[in-house]
Amino acid sequence: MKTVTLKQIAEKLNISVTTVSKALKDYPDVSKTTRQRVLDLAQSLDYTPNSFAVSLRMQQSKTIGVIIPDTVHHFFSNVIKGILKEAEKNDYMVILMQSNESFELEKKQIDLLLSKGVDGILVSLSNNTKKFDHLQKVINYGVPLVLFDKISKTLKCSKVFIDDRKAAYDAVTYLINKGHKRIAHFRGDLNPQNSIDRFLGYKQALLDNNISFDPTLVYMCNNNADFDDGYKNAEKLLKDHGNTVDAIFTITDLIAIGIMKYFDDHGIRVPEDIALFGFSNWFMSSVISPGLSTVEQHAFQIGEESAHILFYEIKSKMNDTPIEHQTVVIPTEMIFRESS
């Protein structure tokens, strides 16, 4: 599907391209009749008004759209910082939107950005995004799109992410080499790719070290994977398994910090009684005691690189040079602290 062009409408109505454009932009010097004919054709062509803004844009908007699940998040605020730095360098402005992990809102925001005629869009998917028509629409409209962190492998666009599976595998392998055998995993929602991959990395590390996988040691943190998730599930873990578990690998630091708080409140020592390994290297993980071992994701670099690719695609599009989509895997890094 391609967006309707000025030319197509103009030819169908046998009027000038400029008139069509002015009619759609509601300029005063176009007769109401002409304007109506243009709008009617728009309807009949079964396009949302949005599609016009995009195809009829007269010039670059010098603006990109960014949709993230949550701004109050150490990882995402660093990603945003990286994006803003790169945008500044390219004299672009950034429209920031927060999907609050809502698929419906994400869809609505994509339409808004298209209607706004942004030159490109960066998206980190909400945890509840299981269908991708709204993103396919962006691609069909020929608007450069780059997915980062929470991506869909099926979409034909550039992607920037980390190797969650390998990072998780390495973290758990490290715990095993430290002598831990009963390792629990506090995982994220079932749907997001990074949640799936970190779980698979955890599972694979156990199997490769001849430790049988015990599903009762996997706890779902689907209340937005936050501090309370960790706190509550830590309590559950102790109820279920007493003191038989000797380590926990969590999908994010925030959960590990919730666990730590619960343990601290109940006299359980980290790492003596139980070791902890987080993910994302939140700033606070370096200042709490014991310090939390974790995986550094280089969020700033992810934001910078995603924006960099987006601007490359925007420029290529302007120069009518073919775009080769890129898939960039940002290397992670293990940070070892007292918690393990």
User: Which residues sit at the interface with a copy of itself, rule CB under 8 A?
Assistant: 18, 25-29, 58-59, 62-63, 70-74, 77-78, 80-81, 84, 88, 93-98, 105, 112-113, 116, 227, 257-258, 260-261, 264, 283-284, 287-289
Q: In which residue are the tokens 């660093």 written?
A: 78
Q: At closest approach, how far in Å is the CB of 330 from a copy of itself?
A: 18
- Rounded distance between C-alpha atoms, residue 252 and residue 151, angstroms: 17
Q: At closest approach, how far in Å is the CB of 324 from a copy of itself?
A: 30
Beta bridge partners of 275: 247
What is the token pair recorded at 306? 């995603």
Among residues 227 and 249, whose Cβ is nearest to a copy of itself?
227
CA 276, chain centre distance (Å) = 25
Among residues 272 and 324, whose Cβ is nearest to a copy of itself?
272
Q: List the 247-250 sheet strands across, edge first.
A: 218-220, 183-187, 247-250, 275-277
Q: In which residue are the tokens 């910078």 written?
A: 304
Q: At closest approach, how far in Å is the CB of 315 from a copy of itself?
A: 19
- Whether a cis peptide bond, with omega within 30° of 0, leads into 215 is no
With 0-12 / 13-18 / 19 or more C-beta atoms within 10 angstroms meaning exposed / middle / buried, residue 272 is exposed
* Pairing of β 333-335 and β 294-296: antiparallel
- Output DSSP code: residue 223: S
Q: At closest approach, how far in Å is the CB of 307 from a copy of itself?
A: 13
Among residues 172 and 257, whose Cβ is nearest to a copy of itself?
257
Q: At closest approach, how far in Å is the CB of 39 from a copy of itself?
A: 15
With 0-12 / 13-18 / 19 or more C-beta atoms within 10 angstroms meaning exposed / middle / buried, residue 251 is buried
Q: At closest approach, how far in Å is the CB of 82 from a copy of itself?
A: 10
What is the token pair recorded at 129? 């995004």
Among residues 121 and 168, whose Cβ is nearest to a copy of itself?
121
Among residues 1 and 58, whose Cβ is nearest to a copy of itself?
58
Among residues 36 and 289, whose Cβ is nearest to a copy of itself?
289
Largest CA distance in the chain: 81
